[in-house]
Each structure stands twice: as C-alpha cells, then as structure tokens.
C-alpha cells in the first residue's frame, strides 16, 4: 500500500473543484437557460475550447498515478540496490514530467482561449484604427478623467464617480472612453495608484452592472460566465494554480524516496 500523499490530495481536491465549476458554467448543453435566454453561442464556443483541457487533466491524473505505482514498485523491490532504485525512479519521473508538461501547456492554452473568447464577447473592444491619433485621444481621455477623479476622496465615492463616468460614456456612445473604462487595465492601475487596489474587484462588479444596463441580456450571461471561470478564486484559478505550484512538487516528491523512508514503510 502506498503512503498517503497529502499534497496530492490537495491537488486533486482543488482541480476537481475547479473543473466542476468551469464545466458547470460552460458544458450545460444547448438546452441550458440563463433566465429566459438560451445559452449565448459564445459560451458554446468557450466550452468547445475547454474540452482539450479536460482531456489533458485526465491524462495528468493518470500520469501521476502511473508514476506513483512505478516508483512504489521500484522501492519495494528488495533485489535492487538503493542506487538502482533511485535511477529507475528518476526514469519514471522523467517520463511523467514529459507527459504532464505537455498536458499542462494544453490546459493553459485552453484556459487562455476560454477567457479571451468570453471577455472579447462580453466587454467592449478597442475601436479601430489603433494609430497615433487614437493614442493621443486616449491620453486626452485619461487626462480629463484624472481631472475629475483627482478631487474625489479615495474611498467608495471614487468608485461611484468612475462608474458615473462609464455610464456617461455608454450613454453618449463614446466608444473609446467606454473601452478605456470598461475593458482596459487603466482603471485598475489608477485605483492602485490611489491606494485602492483592494477595491479592484468591486470596480469590476460596477463595470458589469453598468454594461448589463446598456447591453443585451445575453451578454450579461456571458459576463457572468467570464467572471465565474476567470475570477481570482474558483474556476480556472483552482486549476491553474495547482498545476503550476503543486504538480511539480508532487512529481518530485514521488521520485525522491529516501532509504530511511523505504525502511520506515517496511519496503
């Protein structure tokens, strides 16, 4: 019987939760309803983009199990020297790492595709042409905004004022100002510069609410899906963080059984 691996259990718990969350949002089928609206087509596109990642995550799980079994068998073999055991364990590690490295890239690529697909559909795009004249216009909009916002206290009043500016841009059909406030990173950077970095998520919620008022309801469903899968906690983060931080540790630890550990386990 293999020793219990708490790191592996944590990895499995987190990735299972993340996969359930992502699939729950994207893989409900064509009959999935949001309110009274059938699922927007873009959510189906995002769901198809995610499917290779789900397969890759299954392969990663299988590779972890296969490596664990191989290493366990090696260290249980009393006929091998410690040096031979370590050598064979390293072979199993190299094979598992090669498999999982490839699949991790598939997962990351799919995650990027999902978030980009949903965000592009749910939030205003930057107008064309993106030339020097537009850059000058953006600089002017930023300057005007800072004149308005610079006299506002760095508290919830600042968020309200920024939201008011976004609603005004939406109402006036000012596409560039709308993009700057709703889709670019400028508001986040500005809030951080005013010592309000902790309010960035609150700003994102205000943006979504303002867009929900101005945009069709199906785009509100897309924004809900985007926020669910791409938010700072849950969804994709429950997958991407463990495969970046825990998976390498799991593979390395499975390969690094010491003589004392094998003796303690009675192998």
169 occurs within a structural domain: yes
* CA distances (Å), origin 217, targets 28, 156, 162, 221: 18, 27, 23, 7
Q: How far, in Å, CA of 65 to CA of 87, rounded? A: 19
* Angle at alpha carbon of residue 177, lines to 34 and 44, rounded to 5°: 25
Which distant-in-sequence residues (6+ apart) come within 8 Å of 264 by Cβ? none
Same-domain check for residues 114 and 140: no
Q: How far, in Å, CA of 165 to CA of 6, rounded? A: 50
136 occurs within a structural domain: yes
Question: pTM of this prediction?
Answer: 0.79
Q: Note the pLDDT tens digit of each residue in 240-256.
A: 999 999 999 999 988 87
Q: Tell me: pLDDT of 266 over 50.
A: no
pLDDT of 218:
72
Structure confidence at residue 20 as a pLDDT band (50, 70, 90): very high
Q: What average pLDDT score do residues 124-142 get? A: 95
Same-domain check for residues 25 and 116: yes
- 166 vs 217, residue with greater confidence: 166
Same-domain check for residues 71 and 144: no
223 occurs within a structural domain: no
Task: Give the chain as a DSSP string.
Answer: -PPP-HHHHHHHHHHHHHHHHHHHHH-S-TT-EETTEEPPHHHHHHHHHHHHHHHHHHHHHHHHHHHHHHHHHHHH-TTS-HHHHHHHHHHHHHHHHHHHHHHHHHHHHHHHHHHHHHHHHHSPPPPS--SHHHHHHHHHHHHHHHHHHTTS-SSHHHHHHHHHHHHHHHHHT-HHHHHHHHTSSHHHHHHHHTT-GGGHHHHHHHHHHHHHHHS-HHHHHHHHHHHHHHSSSSTTHHHHHHHHHHHHHHHHHHH---HHHHHHTT-
Tokens of 131: 């030339």
Q: Tell me: pLDDT of 52 over 80.
A: yes
pLDDT of 232:
80
227 occurs within a structural domain: no
Same-domain check for residues 87 and 27: yes
Same-domain check for residues 111 and 149: no
Same-domain check for residues 143 and 193: yes
Same-domain check for residues 30 and 152: no
28 occurs within a structural domain: yes
Structure confidence at residue 117 as a pLDDT band (50, 70, 90): very high
Same-domain check for residues 114 and 245: yes
Direct distance between the N- and C-terminal alpha carbons of the chain, in angstroms, rounded to an integer = 10
Q: Note the pLDDT tens digit of each residue in 31-49.
A: 344 443 455 789 999 999 9
71 occurs within a structural domain: yes
Note down the domain range covering 81: 6-123+232-264
Same-domain check for residues 185 and 254: no
Instruction: Tell me the Cα Rg of the chain.
Output: 25
pLDDT of 193:
95
On whether the CB atoms of residues 15 and 100 are closer than 8 A, the answer is no
226 occurs within a structural domain: no
Number of structural domains, the chain?
Answer: 2
Same-domain check for residues 212 and 238: no
Same-domain check for residues 165 and 109: no
Place of tokens 């003589």: 259
């Amino acid at each position: 019987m293999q020793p219990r691996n708490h790191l592996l259990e944590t990895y499995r718990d987190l990735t299972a939760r993340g996969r359930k969350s992502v699939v729950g949002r994207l893989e409900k089928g064509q009959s999935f309803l949001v309110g009274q609206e059938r699922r927007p087509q873009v959510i189906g596109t995002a769901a198809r983009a995610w499917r290779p990642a789900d397969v890759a995550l299954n392969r990663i799980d299988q590779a972890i199990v296969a490596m664990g079994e191989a290493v366990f068998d090696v260290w249980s073999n009393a006929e091998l020297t410690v040096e031979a055991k370590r050598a064979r364990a390293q072979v199993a590690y190299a094979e598992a790492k090669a498999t999982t490295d490839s699949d991790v890239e598939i997962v990351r690529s799919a995650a990027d595709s999902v978030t980009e697909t949903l965000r592009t559909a749910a939030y205003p795009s930057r107008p064309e042409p993106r030339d020097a004249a537009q850059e000058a216009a953006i600089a002017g909009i930023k300057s005007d905004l800072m004149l308005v916002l610079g006299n506002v206290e760095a508290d919830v009043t600042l968020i309200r004022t920024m939201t008011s500016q976004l609603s005004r841009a939406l109402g006036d059909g000012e596409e560039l100002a709308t993009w700057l406030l709703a889709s670019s990173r400028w508001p986040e950077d500005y809030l951080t510069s005013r010592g309000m970095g902790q309010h960035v998520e609150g700003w994102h919620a205000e943006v979504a609410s303002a867009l929900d008022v101005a945009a069709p309801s199906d785009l509100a469903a897309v924004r809900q899906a985007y926020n669910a899968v791409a938010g700072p906690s849950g969804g994709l983060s429950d997958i991407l963080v463990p495969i970046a931080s825990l998976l390498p540790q799991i593979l390395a630890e499975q390969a690094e059984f010491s003589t004392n550990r094998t003796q303690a386990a009675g192998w």
